[in-house]
Amino acid sequence: MPTTLAITGAAGRMGKRLIALAAEQPDLFKLVAAIDAPNSPAIGQDAGTVAGIAANGVPIASTLTGNPQVIIDFSAPVATRALLLLCRERKIAMIIGTTGLTPADHDLINAAAATTAILQATNTSLGVNVLLGIAAQVAKQLGEPYDIEIVEAHHNLKKDSPSGTALSLAESICQATGRNLDESLVHGRAGTDTLRKKGTIGMHAVRMGDVVGEHTIYYATPGERIELRHVATNRDTFVRGALRAAAFIAKQKPGRYSMANVLGLSSV
C-alpha cells in the first residue's frame, strides 16, 4: 500500500515539487491532503493543477483534511509549531524541513516525538547528510592545527542566515572535536581586530540570485588546504530525500529521527 501524504506549503516551490514527484510514484505515495496559508490564492484549487501536473482531485485547504500517515512540512516556524501540536494529538508522523527553528521549537518536536514519529532535518538532500559525517570525520582526524571555515550560498529570498545546513555542519564538527558550538562560531569578520582565534569556526553566508544551495567547508593549515563542497542544482534533490524519508518514517514507532537513520548511518 502506498504511504498517504499531506503536504504543507502546497503552492510554494517545495510543495509543488513534492506533489509532482510523489505523483510520479503512485505505487509508493498517495497525496490525500494539501495545505497552504489561509490567505493563499491557491486555496480551493486542485493541488495537481497548481503543481503543474494533471488534476488529482485534492483541493488545497488552509487546514488538514483527511487522515494521512505522514505530513511533509517545508513551511515557516509558526506553521510548523501548529502542525506539531496536531501531529502529537492525532499521532501523525511528520517530516520537518522548515529551517530557522528555535530551541523552544526543538522542545516541541521532542514532546511530539513521545507520541509519534518525527524526522527533522535542516537539509533532506542525501548527499548533504553523507557530507555531515564526512565533515566531522575529517575535522577529527586533522586536529587543531587546521583552521575550519564554512561558506554557504543561497538565493536572495532566503530569510534565515546562516543556513540550517551550515549550522548542522558546524554542529557535527563540534561534536566530533569536543568544541562548544556557540563559543566556536565566528559569524563573518569586520573591523580592525579580526585576528583568527585558535579553535574557532568561521561561518559566512552569501545571498545572491537564484542559488539553490551551496556549502563549502575549508580545512587549512600552512602548506595545504582541503575543501569539501556540496552543490544543489535544483530543489528536486531535497524533494527526493524528503519522500524517501516519508516512506521510512511511516513505518517507525514514536521517536525522533534524522536523515542519518534513513540512510542507515545511525541505528534506529
Q: Which of 154, 155, 198, 230 is catalytic?
A: 154
Q: How far is CA 45 from CA 23, 56, 77, 168, in A?
A: 17, 11, 25, 37
Q: Which of 158, 187, 197, 251 is catalytic?
A: 158
Residue that is written with C-alpha cell 577529527 in the block? 140
Q: At what angle do helices 103-112 and 77-90 cross, to 10 degrees?
A: 20
Tally of CB atoms within 10 A around 100: 15
- State the Rg of the chain over Cα: 20
| Residue 159 bears catalytic tag | no
Torsion-angle region of residue 199: left (phi > 0), alpha (psi -120 to 50) or beta?
left
| Residue 198 bears catalytic tag | no
Give the three cell numbers for residue 161.
Answer: 542566515
Cβ–Cβ < 8 Å for 84, 60: no
Catalytic residues: 154, 158
